[in-house]
Structures are given as C-alpha cells and as structure tokens.
Structure 1
Amino acid sequence: MADPIVIIGSGMAGYAVAREFRKLNSEAPLLMITADDGTSYSKPMLSTGFTKAKSAKELEMASASDMSEQLNMSMRTHAIVQAIDTSAKTLSVDGSSVSYDKLVLATGAEVNVLPFVANTAERVCSVNDMDDYRIFREKCAGVKRIAIIGTGLIGCEYANDLLNGDYDIDLIGPSSEVLDTLLPIEASKCVTRALRDAGAHLHLNQNVVAIEETESSVIITLDSGEKIEADLAVSAIGLKPNTRLAQEAGLETNKGIVCDRSLMTSAKDVFTIGDCAEVDGHVLLYVLPLMAGARALAKTLNGTPTNLSYGVMPVMVKTPA
C-alpha cells in the first residue's frame, strides 16, 4: 500500500487541505494526526457564541469520526508527533513510526503568554481552540465581570460577544484606540466609540504590569497604578506561529515555517499552511489566505505544482461598529 499524505493538525487549515484534495482525488490515502479530539469547527465563530446564543457544543461542526468518513481519511486523535525525519520521510508518533509520501504541517499558532501569569492560573484564560473555548464557557457560568487584555482583533471581538452576553467588560490596551494596527485611525476611533457606547469600560494607553488571583477574583494592575478587579480575565495579546516541530526537524523557520509560493518548506515533499506558514516573509493569520493556500496546495499534492496567488482578502471584524 502506498504511503499516505499526512496532515499534522486538525484546525481549519488541515481540514481545508483535506477537503480541497478530495475534490481532486478520492482515492489517494490521507492520514490526519492531531493532538486534540479532531472536532471540526470554525475558529472565527468562537467569538460569536453569546451573540448567536450558541453553546460550545453547538459551535462544533463535525466529530473526527464524521470527518474521517466524509473525507475517506484515516485519523489519529490525541496523538503527539515527537519528530520528523525528512530524509527517511517518517514521523515518530507516540513512540511508533509513520511513513509519509508528502507531509503537510498545519500546526497553527500559539497564544502569546503574559510573562507574569502562572500556568496554574484559574481565572486567566486564553482562547485559541475549541478545547480552550469549552473551558472558557464553563468559567463564564456564574460570573459577571470579565476583563479582556488586548485591543486587537481577538480582544475586541470577544469584548463585543461578551457584551452581547450581558457581561460587564473591562477592555485594556496599550494604544489610544482599539484595532490601531489593523484599521485606519478614523475607523479605529469609530470602533472604540462603538465599544464604549455598547457598555465596555475602556482602559487605553495602559499596560498590564501585574495580575493577582484571589479566591474569588482576579486583580489586574496597570502601569498607571489603576487596579481592575474582575471575576475572570481573558488574555488576548496575540498569536505566534507554532514552529517547534519544524525547527526540531531542521526546517527553515523565521516568524513562521518558511515556505515558497507552492507552500513547500526547505525540505522536499514537506509543505506548510495556515497560521504557522510564512510566505514571502508574511504570516497571515486570517481565513481567506488559508483557503487560497488550501486550493493551491491540493493541486500540488495531486501532482500539478501550483503556486499560491492571493486575491483581494477582506477581514471581517465582528464588533458593534
């Protein structure tokens, strides 16, 4: 039997590649390996749960077994890839060896961690995947005031969603306006004003210098000396590509896993896509670049080398403005 095309990661990028490939080839063996349970979901929808009155369960689209059947693809869930041998074209997975024909790294991105928050913190959350979101929704039950650290896309979208869920929101950021790195200044001012009008307590031009947990709350100290007490805090200070596995395999990495326009890395037959990929020096943490990449990569995996071409790629911002 031929070695499979192996996809590491069951996020939107991994599943998008599998779907696009199956449109072109229904028979070639596919294997997806994922550290989580393989649930298919739309990551951007995680910041709409309260707005749409949907639970974490209702935001799930399909189970790993459903996706395996739909895509005629083998699945290994809750499995850890320890190493890649690009010369032998093998993976070490939980102590066993897996051979591949071609390999796709769809390892996503990790959250940036506040340096003064312990790993054991119970009242400080980051939401980067469905597992995180399930925990977050459980912690939201029975609380009222939530502080969000970060005024970028994720911070603002969660602020908007939680306001729609009737929570009291403190939104903290270092700039004078929200979304200042994403939008023109007038648009940033518009969103800032809309969030304030929606009821958010904005703490702008301020940085967090300390976080203390008590038995019943979290106390956030700002560089102005102001202290904010909340039931729960959400850290939304950005993402960084998950390059660890690629680095350990000797692949070229920079901000992300470096690849060319065909999404091939510095190793033959090893490709990358999504939040972990760096194309022409850029890491694009959005859905439309991912989908364009999946269509191009599927053709390449099916034997027709295809370079990625980006079209116009608007970014939806889910806020009141």
Structure 2
Amino acid sequence: MSNSAAENGVVILGSGLGGYTLARELRKLDAGIAITIVTADGGESYSKPMLSAAFAQGKAPSSLVQKSAEQMAADLKATILVRHRVAAIRRDARKVVVRRPDGGEVELGYGRLVLAIGADPRPYWVEGCEDAEIRTVNDLDDYTAWRAALKPGGRVLLVGAGLIGSEFANDLAGSGHHVTVVDPAPWPLGRLLPQALGEEMARALGDAGITFHLGRSVAYWNKGRAALDDATMIHYDQALSAIGLVPRTRLAFEAGLKVERGITVDRFLRTSDPDIFAIGDCAETPAGPLPFVLPLMAEAKALAATLAGTETALKLPALPVVVKTPALPMVVCPPAPGAAGEWVIEGEGRDRKALFIAPDGKALGFALSGARAGERQALAREMPDLL
C-alpha cells in the first residue's frame, strides 16, 4: 500500500482484540477506506482471555491461533505490518514513525490514528527477583515461552490472586501442576468480591489443590525459592507474576496527548487530538479504565461508526465479568470505584448472591457464585449504566 493511501485512511496501532475488532467493524461499514494495522507481535488473531484457561481446555499455544496475519489482512482488506514497533507519533505531520524488524525506520501518514496498544504487566520488584526468572504472560508470545518452560507436574509460584492470577492458578492446578499463590490481600479477587464470596473462592481453589499464602508477600527471592515476610520458604520450578496491568501511555505522552491513568478519551473515544483515538486497555474513558472484553467490544463498535462518518458516542450498560475458575463458577459486576454502600449476601456455601446496596437502597453491583451465576443477565439489567 502506498503511503498516500494511508494518509487518507485509518492507521491502527495494535493487533489485539481491540485493534482487530475495530478493523472488522469498520470494514463492515466502509468497504473502501484504507486500513493499516501496525503490530509489534506476529499479528495472529487469538483470544487473549483464553490464555488463562488453555490448559483446562487442552489447547497448545499454536491451537489458540484462529487466523494468521496473512489471513486477517485478506479478510479485512487491510495492510498489516507485523513485528513493527512505533517509535513516535508526529502529530504536526500526521505521521507515525515505525521501526521495521531489520532496524530501519519508515514514516506512515494517517488520516485518523487509533491507539489500541493495550497494557503492560505491572512492574514487580522485590530483592533478588532479577535472578529469580519471574515470568509474565501478556500475549501469545509470552504464553508460548511460559508453556515451553513448564515441567509436567512442576511447582509453580504465582504472585497475585486477582482475576488473572486466580484463573491461571485454577488452570495450572487442573493440569497437574503444584500451585502456590501469594497475595497481600486477605482473599482472592479482593478488589472484586466481598469477603464471604472471596473466602468461598479460596476454599474452592484450595480443594482443587492450590496452596494460598494470603495476607503475605515475598520478602526476597533466590533462584528456585522465595522467602515470605513471615519467614515461610517456598520452593518452585517456575514463577509467574500476575499483579495487574498498567496502560501503555508513553507513546501518547511523548506525542503531547493528555494522559492520566490511561490515555484520556471522551465519549467518542477521541484523545486530546481530534484525529487520534484510543480504545481498550490503554484508554481511560469517562467511566475510567475498562480492562475487560465486553467494554472493549462496545468501544470498537462505536468508534467504527464514528470513523465511517457517523459520530457515535460510547454507551455502556452494566457488563458482568465471568471469572474462568471451574473450581467455583463466579460472575462479578463491581460497583463504580469509590461508590458508597455495602454488600448484602444471600445463600450459603458455594451458591451465593451478593448485592452492593447504596444508602438509598439501589443495587449498584453484584457478585454471583456457583449455581447463582446463571442469574447474571437478569441482574445486569437492573444495574446502572456505566456510560
């Protein structure tokens, strides 16, 4: 594709779920617009949420690939530049500086630019961790390397009992690994679940063979062993950090775009530059960062309409999150950060319903476990919209 074609078209940075969904929705609405996708990885189409459940489904890393970059380019009638990294955005010239795999650079013009660049694993540093070979899994390349390093029946030390950490722990334990999880929170999914449901999740994962050290953190690392702050020593074959993600904002910040917790966008997914947009894990919407799949899909659909000529504001109903822990099915629709209220819980044991009730009596969020998880659609309709 010529650079002149790109100058009047859309350049999308990122080939993850956000970038590819946007391109697909845009192509449905506009058969002729030039679409260029720039990606630092291999450009394969795959479901990132499946990375924390692949063992349980018997899937090797290669089987997670749905389509190659070449197939995606043909389907989307787009140019896809794989293993290319964006060095800078030149807003004055409406160009992005792209570093090729051979180290050379090329400039791509754009009519409109979309940042769908995702997030990085949250940095983790504790004394000795430089030599401890602590891995992170944030994309298919990471996952392939992680799977290659695992030994059948090996000991895995997992730092972080949040959503992704709990899913990975359940998946690894289900495949015969000996899993130990360390987290300073008092129960798993501490930011999403009330205490009763969090403790039930801990019991269910414990029954699946996972050892928890909750309310604890690693004091220092040595290769193959880690000492906790209560002097407990844990020996491991592989270690994984799953303590969350940080939106990738450096590129936007260096380009002079407004950045707060993520790249700041309005209801139309526009950044502080009217010709540059952002979606997905890198973006901070008026509802805050939205690091889940369903909001991302809604963002991509709304932005595609805007890029195709129909200004479309993002609208978000309450969107429950399904936690992929077969040991205890769980669905959570958390209240907005900082919302006033308290959790009210029904049921006992595995099958519970928790509602987050505001002082005026309105339900602002919910969590469902076990057999109650099937109530999620009906409850979601009763929750306030996110946007």
- 1:242-261 equivalences under 5 Å are 242-261=248-267
Using CA pairs below 8 Å that are at least 6 residues apart, which structure has the higher relative contact order? Answer: 1
Question: What amino acid is the match of 1:202?
Answer: F
| Rg comparison, structure with higher value | 2
What secondary structure, in the 3-state scheme, does the structure 2 residue paired with 1:275 have?
helix
Question: What amino acid is the match of 1:198?
Answer: A
Conservation of the 8 A alpha-carbon contact between 1:84 and 1:92: yes
User: Offset of 1:115 from its aligned partner?
Assistant: 1.3
Counterpart position of 1:112? 122
Counterpart position of 1:124? 134
Question: What amino acid is the match of 1:150?
Answer: G
Show structure 1 runs of 5+ residues with no match.
none
User: Offset of 1:281 from its aligned partner?
Assistant: 5.5
Counterpart position of 2:205? 195
- The normalised TM-score by structure 2 is 0.80
What secondary structure, in the 3-state scheme, does the structure 2 residue paired with 1:91 have?
strand
Conservation of the 8 A alpha-carbon contact between 1:143 and 1:231: no
Cα distance in structure 2, aligned partners of 1:120 and 1:78: 27
Conservation of the 8 A alpha-carbon contact between 2:165 and 2:242: yes
Deviations 1:91-125 (A, max 9, x none): 11122111001000001000012113779657321
Show structure 2 runs of 5+ residues with no match.
100-104, 329-387
- The normalised TM-score by structure 1 is 0.96
1:136 aligns to 2:146 (yes or no) = yes
Question: What amino acid is the match of 1:75?
Answer: I
1:284 aligns to 2:287 (yes or no) = no
Counterpart position of 2:88? 83
Conservation of the 8 A alpha-carbon contact between 1:36 and 1:79: yes
Cα distance in structure 1, aligned partners of 2:173 and 2:127: 25
Out of 93, 101, 116, the residue aligned to residue 98 of structure 2 is 93
Out of 233, 244, 250, the residue aligned to residue 238 of structure 1 is 244
Q: Percent identity?
A: 42
Conservation of the 8 A alpha-carbon contact between 1:10 and 1:34: yes
Conservation of the 8 A alpha-carbon contact between 2:269 and 2:303: yes
Counterpart position of 1:69? 74
Cα distance in structure 1, aligned partners of 2:75 and 2:203: 45
User: Offset of 1:232 from its aligned partner?
Assistant: 0.6
Summarize the Cα distance change of 1:194–1:135 in structure 2 as closer, same or farther, 3 Å threshold.
same
Cα distance in structure 2, aligned partners of 1:72 and 1:225: 58
Cα distance in structure 1, aligned partners of 2:302 and 2:91: 22
User: Offset of 1:177 from its aligned partner?
Assistant: 0.8
Counterpart position of 1:268? 274
- Please give the root-mean-square deviation of Cα atoms over the aligned residues, in Å: 1.4
Conservation of the 8 A alpha-carbon contact between 1:123 and 1:231: no
Question: What amino acid is the match of 1:312?
Answer: A
Summarize the Cα distance change of 1:9–1:118 in structure 2 as closer, same or farther, 3 Å threshold.
farther
Deviations 1:224-245 (A, max 9, x none): 1111011011101110000010
User: Offset of 1:143 from its aligned partner?
Assistant: 5.5
Summarize the Cα distance change of 1:164–1:255 in structure 2 as closer, same or farther, 3 Å threshold.
same
Cα distance in structure 2, aligned partners of 1:111 and 1:102: 28
Counterpart position of 2:384? none
